[in-house]
Structure 1
Amino acid sequence: MAGKIIANLLVLGGGALVKAVAQAYKQAIVNANKSGVAHETVQNLAHKTSKSMTLHEARMILGVAENTPWEEVLQKYDKMFQKNAEMGTFYLQSKVHRAKECLEAAKRAGG
Structure 2
Amino acid sequence: MAAKILANLIVMGSGILVRGMVQAYRQALQNASKTGVAQETLETVRRGSKVMTQQEARQILGVTEQSSWEEIAQKYDNLFERNATNGSFYLQSKVHRAKECLETVHQVKDQPGGPVG
TM over 0.5: yes
TM-score (normalizing by structure 2): 0.69
Structure 1 segments unaligned to the other structure (5+ residues): none
Deviation at 1:89, TM superposition (A): 3.5
| Match status 1:41 vs 2:41 | yes
C-alpha distance 2-27 of structure 1, shift in aligned 2 (>3 A): same
Q: Distance in 1 between matches of 2:3 and 2:74?
A: 76
1:88 to 2:87 alignment: yes
Question: Residues 20 and 81 of structure 1: is their aligned pair in 2 closer, same or farther, counting only changes over 3 Å?
Answer: same
Q: Name the counterpart of 1:101.
A: 100
Q: Distance in 1 between matches of 2:23 and 2:73?
A: 55
Structure 2: distance between partners of 1:14 and 1:97: 51
Equivalent residue pairs, number: 108
Q: Please, which of 70, 84, 97 is the counterpart of residue 68 of structure 2?
A: 70
- The change in CA–CA distance for 1:54 and 1:15 in structure 2 (over 3 A counts) is same
Counterpart in the other structure of 1:12: 12
Alpha-carbon spacing, 1:109–1:5, altered in 2? closer, same or farther (3 Å): farther
1:90 to 1:22, Cα distance in 2 relative to 1, 3 A = closer
Give the 3 Å change call, closer, same or farther, for CA 4–68 of structure 1 in structure 2. farther
Bigger relative contact order, structure 1 or 2 (CA pairs below 8 A, ≥6 apart): 1
Aligned CA-pair RMSD: 2.7
